[in-house]
């Protein structure tokens, strides 16, 4: 699982930061969370496979979070895309997407399927799910939680204890069969365990809220907006400070916190936000455009 912070600015782009967009590569799928102005250019510059996009999840319909969608759709057509593109978002997503598709003259070589979601709704895929999280913003807005489905894996420590490290019979145990080994009968549950899947949570724009804390419980990576410092957040309804983002990560027991949606007032000193967050949650950092964050598979022996 790889998370690429494509655009990390708030409201307006800066010379260093584009508008909100985040690409998740997982299980062969390329999933885009928000699509601010300049998204397609950054995807191209970072060689992130613009033609491989499968789904776009829009957190809400403020322009900085969707203004790159029209250009992206048109470029896919001009490059001869044939397979469908899926667009998901909060209520009115069909309406707003249709308005975008009615802008200007262009044809489409591929189908676009648009679905609005409701808070708590879960998109089911074979290897993962994506849940829409209701958040606290000035308009209807969602965060999203991408969860890998639980995996059955052989515990390497238990295999070593039983002398099974190189046995071809591991596959049979994984298939639920009991095997004979070194004069003993070994059941699958002596070696094979169910391991929780990885979890990535993206908040979109939100004030600190319980729904995000619940959704981010035990998240491997929480990508939380941190528009301003605690001193400034009172003037930003529906947004979070770096400290509040860190409080969410701490209360949720998240593994890692990455801060995004950075106000341009901190373009010369994003470390101020990072330091504020680290006062509450050590494993926190401010994202830059074009960064990659890897989430390794879970192991039963960890």
pLDDT tens digits, one per residue of 193-216: 899 999 999 999 999 999 999 999
State pLDDT tens for residues 94-112.
999 999 999 888 788 899 9
Residues found in the chain: 302
State pLDDT tens for residues 3-29.
999 999 999 999 999 999 999 999 999
- Of residues 197, 165, 195, 199, the one with CA closest to residue 182: 165
DSSP-derived pairing of the beta strands 85-89 and 53-57: parallel
Q: How far apart are CA 32 and CA 7, in angstroms?
A: 11
Nearest-10 Cα torsion for 39, 44, 48, 53: 60
Q: What pTM did the predictor assign?
A: 0.93
The answer as to CATH 3.60.15.10 being correct for domain 2-150+196-294 is yes
Q: Where are the domains of the chain?
A: 2-150+196-294, 153-192
pLDDT at 182 over 80: no
| Model pLDDT, residue 302 | 80
Least confident of 130-134, 234-238, 278-282: 234-238
Q: Scanning the structure block, which residue is given the tokens 């949606």?
A: 261
Residue 53: φ, ψ to 5°: -60, 135
Of 124 and 161, more confident:
124
The 10 Å Cβ neighbour count of residue 239 is 24
State pLDDT tens for residues 140-149.
999 999 999 9
| Model pLDDT, residue 191 | 87
Cβ(1)–Cβ(25) below 8 Å: yes
Q: How far apart are CA 231 and CA 228, in angstroms?
A: 8
Average pLDDT, integer, range 131-137: 98
pLDDT at 251 over 90: yes
| Model pLDDT, residue 210 | 98
Exposed/middle/buried for residue 162 (C-beta within 10 Å: 0-12, 13-18, 19+): middle
Quickly list H helices, 27-68.
39-45, 63-66
Q: Provide, rounded to the nearest whole percent, the portion of the chain with pLDDT above 90.
A: 80
Cβ(199)–Cβ(145) below 8 Å: yes
| Model pLDDT, residue 166 | 66
State pLDDT tens for residues 26-50.
999 999 999 999 999 999 999 999 9
Catalytic residues: 64
| Token pair in block for residue 74 | 């048109």
């Amino acid at each position: 699982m790889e998370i690429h912070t494509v655009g990390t600015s708030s409201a307006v782009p800066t010379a260093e930061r584009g508008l909100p967009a985040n690409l998740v590569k997982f299980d062969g799928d390329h999933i885009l969370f928000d699509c601010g102005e300049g998204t397609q250019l950054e995807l191209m510059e970072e060689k992130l496979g613009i033609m491989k996009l499968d789904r776009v999840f829009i957190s809400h319909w403020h322009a900085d979070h969707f203004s790159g969608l029209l250009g992206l759709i048109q470029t896919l057509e001009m490059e001869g895309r044939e397979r469908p593109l899926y667009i998901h978002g909060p209520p009115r997503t069909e309406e707003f997407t249709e308005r975008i598709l009615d802008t200007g003259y262009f044809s489409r070589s591929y189908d676009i399927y648009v679905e609005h979601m409701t808070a708590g709704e879960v998109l089911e895929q074979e290897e993962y799910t994506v849940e829409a999280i209701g958040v606290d913003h000035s308009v209807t807005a969602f965060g999203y939680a991408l969860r890998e489905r639980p995996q059955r894996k052989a515990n390497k420590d238990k295999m070593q204890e039983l002398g099974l490290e190189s046995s071809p019979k591991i596959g049979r145990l994984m298939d639920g069969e009991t095997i004979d080994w070194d004069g003993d009968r070994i059941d699958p549950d002596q070696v094979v365990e169910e391991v929780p899947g990885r979890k990535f949570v993206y908040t979109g724009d939100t004030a600190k809220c319980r729904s995000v804390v619940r959704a981010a419980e035990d998240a491997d990576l929480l990508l939380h907006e941190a528009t301003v410092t605690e001193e400034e957040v009172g003037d930003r309804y529906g947004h979070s400070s770096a400290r509040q983002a860190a409080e969410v990560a701490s209360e949720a027991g998240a593994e890692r916190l990455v801060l995004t949606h950075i106000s341009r007032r901190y373009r010369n000193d994003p470390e101020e936000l990072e330091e504020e967050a680290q006062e509450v949650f050590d494993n926190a950092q401010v994202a830059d455009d074009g960064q990659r964050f890897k989430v390794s598979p879970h192991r039963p022996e960890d």
